Every structure is written in C-alpha cells, then in structure tokens.
C-alpha cells in the first residue's frame, strides 16, 4: 500500500502508457473496422454480409467450429485427465506434443496436411483412387483447424486437474459411484469453469484461424472459404466495404468472447478462492 | 475380521510394503503408527481397495477381496484433506453415497434427505446441511467427511491421518468424540497416524510400522512398556539411550555395572533405553549413573531435567516430581534407572 501511494507519478505514467498503447493498437483498429464496414451505410453492410458467398463462408466457419470445438473438448479432457491423474512413461513427451501446435507456425501445420493428403502427398494417390477429397475440401479445413486449436482445452485443464489431485474421484468411487457417475458428478463440476474458458479460447481460434486453413482450403468461393479467407479475397479485390463488413462480424465474435471470458474468469476465481482452505 | 496376508507393494524401485501380515479383529479400533515413508498409508489404501498389492491377499471375514474395487468392499474412507465435493452442499455431500445407487437400490429422495440429516445430527452438525464445505471450519469439514463415509453403512471405517490438518485443541476434542462414536456404532475402525500420543490414546491396538515392515503390534500398554525394538522404543514416547555392553546378562556402561531392572539380553554391545520418569536420584554409590545437570524447566506437574553423561552425545531427559525442589544447573547427580529396556545393537535403526 505504502509503495503504491508513494509514487503517484510513476503509477499514472505507467497507466497512461498502457492505455495509450491499447488505444493505438487495439481500440483504434477495431473502431476502423466497424467504421469502414458502415462507411457506405447499413444497407451496404447488410448486403455484404448476406450475399451468397458471404453466407457460405459464415456457414462453413460455423460448421468447422461446431465440429472441431466439441472434438477438442473430448480430446482435451481425455488428455488432461491422463496427464493430471496418472503416471505413465512418455508423459512429458505427450505434454510436448500437446504444445506442438502452439510452437509450430500455422502455415506449416497446413502444409503437413498437404504433404500427407495432397494430390502429390503420401496418401494422395490412394485417396484419389477411392474418390476421397481432403485437401481443398471441408475435411482438410477441419483437420487443420483441429490441429491448430488442439492445445487450448487441454492446456487450460492440465494445471487445474493436477492441482485438484485424485482425492475427490477416489472419495466418489469409495462411496460406490461408478466411473461415469464420478466423472459427471464430481470431475466435471470441478473443472467446469476452466473448461468453459478453454472452450471459448478454442472457439475463437477455430473461427478466426487463417494460416493453416488458407494452405489447405484452395480458396474456392462459396465452397471452401471460411470467413477469414473470404475477408482476404474481398480485400484483394478492393471491395473494402464488404471485406470490412465480414471482418466486423469476426471482430464482434472477438468482443463477445472477451466479455464471456471476463465473466468466466470472474466466476472461476470466485470458485477457486471460495473453495480454498 | 480383516486378514492381511503377506502383502508386498512396490512403487517403481521403492518398496512401500514388504511382506506385511496382520489380523484386524471385528469391532477393533486399530492405529497404524509410523513415520512418513513407513508404508502405513499405502497399507490403509490397500485395505480400502484404492491401491492393489503386488503380492499377498486381503480378506474380509474370510472372503478374499484382493481383486475387489473400493466400491465393492463396503468400506468408508475418510481422506486426510477430507475430499469434500465443494460444489455440493453439506447435505448433498453426505447423501452422495446413497444418491449414486442404482434405481432399484436407491431409497426415495425424502428418505435420503432424512438419512443425511440424521447423520449430520450424529456428527453434531444438525441444521448445517444447506451450507457449502467452504463455509465450514476444519473440524466441521472433518465431521462432514465422516458422516458421508458412514452414510453407505460400511463394515469398516478407514481414516487417513484424520486429525492431521486440525489445530491442537480441535484435535483433542475430535479424538474423544471419534472414540465415542466408534463404540456407539460398533464399527471396525483403522486409522493412520504419525502421532504416537494419538495412537496410544485412541487405539485398542497399535501397529507400529517403519520402512514398509511391521515393527510391533500390541496394546498401547504393551507398545509403551515393552517395545520390541529400539525403533519402537524411540518412536513411541520419550526415550533416553545409553550405549552399553552386556556382560553375563547385565548391562555395563564404560565398565560400570548399572543397577537396573531389565529383561536379560545376550552378551555383546547393546542399547539401554529408559523413560524420563523411570529414574530416581541416588547417591554416589555403585550402580548410580553420574549426570551433570545442564537445564531445568517446569513441565506440568514435573521438573524436566536435562543432563549430560560423559560418553553420551544426546543429553538425557529426566522427570522429577515438582513437589521436591529442583536441582541446580551445574550440579552433579547420581541417577538410578528403575526400569530399562535392552536392545542388542544389531536391531538398532
């Protein structure tokens, strides 16, 4: 307390720097996005986000997020459970693998799939023989998105579940609960806020991913374009209003995520603090 | 009755339990006592079915349960840190064991609720069912954990360091209350503790463990008065040790014969242990141990004297009745050991 009050100049100076930085690099661009999107009026905005290609991009983005997020919830919980509650050989290796998508450039992630499933890739001939399309099609986009978003849920849950230990689960089992009852009634409630937090981050990334998806998508308008890819195409065509209109939807998603994230963080802290010793 | 036959358990290269055998009688209050790393908690978890032995057999009433999971053993387990479900109210916690039963075995909701309240009354927490664990004190949480374990009507109650996380006053109250509850419910109870005072006060029988083996099993009286090894003598109660050699069955301390009542031991190097209160002052005569007083302080109704003996590193601790006036620091005393225990040196830990 004493130290905080003794140097008001330093304190206000730091706050000013932080606010200025945020305004310059975050608020201003965000305002520009919405400003540009609405520069030709609400009608132009409306038609830009409702034209068939834009709608197709929105639909694809929702589809990809709708599949990859639930899958990563399952993977994430399974991986975090295994790592946090059991000891097994290769555990640290598994942790490193989970972190891999964070350390690898998304473009490389996309290229991995091209290398595997592309026409010239290892499995390309076989796939073509069986008439299965992965690269330049929805499955490829899905795979790339799952790869990039994999760590979010697991990373959020591992420290939380490690900290909680096995006592609660063992107590539940000793009282006669089955494994499923234990998971549903004890484990899941214990991790729900951390899980929700991870899901939000995972979802935001799934909808906003550009690099990995760009490599595997093929940019077929109305077919394999997600929202971020659609924005780029419109922008390259000097269709600024439409580009910024679709971009503003993504920005809106970011803002909603941010608000939800704050609420979850608040609840999360409350529960952790309230449940402590 | 619970039978534990030749149980061994390793964690990697570490032997947590080494060929343990033990019988627990029905209705008994049994303490597993030992320092950390002695294997006492591992043994408790094996009895519960939370851990499985590498070798050996566990049986309940003659029935082999070695392969049974914890859910199928009908045991109540109370964890050291209680492991209460923090998102549930106290009543929901207590009712958990009944509410997870399959539909056919599950009592109706109202009955479960009544049973939970009844158990909360039993652990003297009636009316607190609506609270959350975070709103309770440590002692209250402990009792909720106990009520929750009792709700499934176990034959056997297992407690892992039940008072470890509580402060001294609460601990003492809870101890008495638990002893009372054990008698009232007619359960078989096994608890793990590193606190010898707790074990001696509560248990019908005490199992002293060290390094994965059982050092001694006996009543508190036997454990305290007739420790079977130097380790038990040292770990249970306060002990002074003198290095002696046994000649013709009698202990000698640096060629000085010590006049002490001991069970005879084989000749050779040995350790003579005695309790602080098992001494009296004698003159300079033969058989008396010369001690230099280095400290005196009051300890309840006694004087606690710290004294040095030539040739012994650790100062002796001696109790003298506070009815007499205490010796002065620097004074020399002759001590007679009224009762001692001899341990051949090989046994010493």
Looking at chain A, the whole-number percentage of residues with pLDDT higher than 70 is: 94
The closest CB to that of B83, out of A167, A178, A271, belongs to A167
CATH no. for B238-343: 2.40.50.140
* Residue range B249-277: mean pLDDT, rounded: 83
* Residue range B74-101: mean pLDDT, rounded: 93
What is the total count of domains within chain A? Answer: 2
Question: Would an 8 Å CB–CB cutoff place B136 in contact with chain A?
Answer: no
Query: What is the chain B residue with the closest CA to A184?
Result: B100
Question: Would an 8 Å CB–CB cutoff place B69 in contact with chain A?
Answer: yes
Are residue A55 and residue A86 in the same domain, yes or no?
yes
Question: Would an 8 Å CB–CB cutoff place A181 in contact with chain B?
Answer: yes
* Residue range A41-45: mean pLDDT, rounded: 84
Among all chains, which residue has been given the structure tokens 């007739």?
A: B226
Question: Would an 8 Å CB–CB cutoff place B77 in contact with chain A?
Answer: yes
Q: Which residues pair with B272 in a beta bridge?
A: B242, B342
The answer to whether the CB atoms of A190 and B86 lie below 8 A apart is yes
Looking at chain B, the whole-number percentage of residues with pLDDT higher than 90 is: 52
Are residue A48 and residue A34 in the same domain, yes or no?
no
Classify burial at B13, counting beta carbons within 10 Å of its beta carbon; exposed 0-12, middle 13-18, buried 19 or more. exposed
Give the distance from residue A171's alpha carbon to the nearest chain B alpha carbon, in angstroms: 7
CATH number for the domain that contains residue A69: 1.10.3720.10
Are residue A33 and residue A50 in the same domain, yes or no?
no
Question: Would an 8 Å CB–CB cutoff place A42 in contact with chain B?
Answer: no
Provide, as residue numbers in chain B, all residues whose Cβ is less than 8 Å from the Cβ of A276: 134
The answer to whether the CB atoms of B83 and A276 lie below 8 A apart is no
Catalogue the long-range contacts made by A186-190 (C-beta closer than 8 Å, 24 or more residues apart). Answer: A186/B85, A187/A81, A189/B85, A189/B87, A190/A164, A190/B86, A190/B87
Provide, as residue numbers in chain B, all residues whose Cβ is less than 8 Å from the Cβ of A178: 71, 100
Are residue A166 and residue A265 in the same domain, yes or no?
yes
* Residue range A78-97: mean pLDDT, rounded: 89
Are residue A116 and residue A15 in the same domain, yes or no?
no
Residue-wise burial string across B146-179, b where 16 or more C-beta atoms lie within 10 A, e elsewhere: bbbbbbbebebbbbbbbbbbbeeebbeebbeebb
Residue-level pLDDT at A26: 85
Are residue A81 and residue A135 in the same domain, yes or no?
yes
Which ipTM did the prediction report?
0.83
Are residue A53 and residue A141 in the same domain, yes or no?
yes
The answer to whether the CB atoms of B96 and A174 lie below 8 A apart is no
Are residue A12 and residue A89 in the same domain, yes or no?
no
The answer to whether the CB atoms of A172 and B70 lie below 8 A apart is no
Are residue A183 and residue A261 in the same domain, yes or no?
yes
CATH no. for B2-229: 3.40.50.300
Q: Each residue of A205-239: pLDDT tens digit?
A: 999 888 888 888 888 887 888 899 989 998 998 88
- Of B122, B127, B180, B169, give the one whose Cα is nearest residue B146: B122
Are residue A122 and residue A32 in the same domain, yes or no?
no
pTM above 0.90, yes or no: no
From A148-162, B34-48, B184-198, B311-325, the region with the lowest mean pLDDT:
B311-325
The answer to whether the CB atoms of B85 and A274 lie below 8 A apart is no
Residue-level pLDDT at A260: 86
Are residue A160 and residue A59 in the same domain, yes or no?
yes
Mean pLDDT rounded to a whole number for chain A: 86
Question: Would an 8 Å CB–CB cutoff place A239 in contact with chain B?
Answer: no
Indicate the domain borders of chain B: 2-229, 238-343
Q: Each residue of A237-276: pLDDT tens digit?
A: 888 888 888 889 888 888 888 888 888 878 766 655 444 3
Provide, as residue numbers in chain B, all residues whose Cβ is less than 8 Å from the Cβ of A271: 86
Are residue A34 and residue A62 in the same domain, yes or no?
no
Instruction: State which residues form the domain around A5.
Output: 1-38
């Amino acid at each position: 307390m004493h130290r905080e009050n003794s140097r008001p100049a330093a304190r206000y100076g730091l706050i000013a720097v932080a606010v200025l930085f945020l305004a310059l690099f975050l608020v201003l661009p965000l305002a520009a996005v919405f400003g540009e999107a609405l520069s030709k009026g609400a009608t132009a905005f409306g038609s830009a986000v409702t034209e068939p290609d834009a709608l197709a991009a929105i639909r694809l983005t929702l589809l990809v997020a709708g599949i990859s997020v639930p899958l990563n919830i399952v993977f994430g919980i399974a991986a975090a459970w295994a790592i946090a509650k059991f000891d097994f050989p290769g555990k640290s290796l598994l942790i490193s693998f989970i972190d891999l998508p964070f350390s690898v450039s998304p473009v490389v992630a996309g290229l991995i799939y091209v290398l595997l499933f592309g026409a010239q890739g290892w499995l390309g001939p076989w796939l073509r023989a069986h008439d299965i399309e992965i690269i330049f099609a929805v499955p490829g986009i899905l795979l790339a998105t799952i790869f990039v978003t994999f760590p979010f849920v697991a990373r959020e849950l591992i420290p939380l579940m490690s900290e909680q230990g096995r006592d609660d689960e063992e107590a539940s089992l000793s009282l006669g609960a089955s494994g499923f009852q234990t998971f549903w009634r004890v484990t899941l409630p214990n991790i729900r806020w951390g899980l929700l937090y991870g899901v939000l981050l995972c979802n935001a990334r799934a909808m906003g991913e550009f690099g990995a998806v760009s490599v595997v998508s093929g940019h077929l308008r109305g077919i394999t374009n997600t929202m971020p890819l659609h924005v780029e195409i419109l922008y390259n065509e000097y269709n600024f209003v439409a580009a910024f209109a679709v971009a503003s939807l993504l920005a809106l998603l970011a803002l909603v995520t941010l608000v939800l994230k704050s609420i979850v963080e608040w609840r999360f802290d409350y529960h952790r603090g309230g449940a402590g010793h | 009755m619970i039978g534990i036959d030749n149980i061994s358990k390793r964690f990697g290269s570490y032997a947590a339990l080494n060929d343990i055998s033990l019988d627990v009688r029905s209705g008994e209050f049994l303490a597993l006592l030992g320092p950390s790393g002695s294997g006492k908690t591992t043994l408790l978890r094996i009895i519960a079915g939370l851990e499985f032995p590498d070798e050996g057999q566990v049986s309940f009433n003659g029935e082999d349960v070695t392969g049974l999971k914890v859910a199928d053993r009908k045991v109540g387990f109370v964890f050291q840190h209680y492991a209460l479900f923090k998102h549930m109210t106290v009543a929901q916690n207590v009712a958990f064991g009944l509410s997870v039963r399959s539909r056919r075995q599950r009592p109706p909701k109202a009955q479960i609720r009544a049973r939970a309240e009844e158990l909360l009354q039993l652990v003297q927490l009636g009316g607190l069912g609506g609270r959350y664990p975070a709103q309770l004190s440590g002692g209250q949480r402990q009792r909720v954990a106990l009520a929750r374990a009792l709700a499934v009507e176990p034959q056997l109650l297992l407690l892992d360091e039940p008072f470890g996380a509580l402060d001294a006053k609460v601990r003492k109250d809870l101890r008495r209350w638990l002893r009372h509850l054990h008698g009232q419910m007619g359960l078989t109870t096994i608890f793990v503790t590193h606190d010898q005072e707790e074990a001696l006060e509560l248990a019908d029988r005490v199992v002293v463990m060290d390094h994965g083996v059982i050092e001694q099993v006996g009543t508190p009286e036997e454990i305290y008065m007739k420790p079977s090894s130097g380790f038990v003598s040292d770990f249970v109660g306060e002990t002074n040790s003198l290095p002696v050699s046994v000649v013709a069955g009698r202990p000698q301390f640096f060629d000085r014969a010590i006049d002490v009542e001991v069970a005879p031991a084989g000749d050779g190097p040995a350790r003579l242990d005695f309790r602080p209160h098992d001494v009296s002052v004698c003159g300079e005569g033969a058989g008396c141990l010369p001690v230099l007083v280095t400290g005196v302080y009051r300890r309840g109704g006694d004087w606690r004297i710290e004294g040095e003996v030539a040739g012994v590193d650790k100062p002796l601790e001696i109790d003298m009745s506070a009815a007499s006036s205490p010796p002065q620091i620097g004074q020399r005393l002759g001590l007679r050991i009224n009762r001692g225990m001899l341990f051949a040196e090989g046994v010493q830990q």
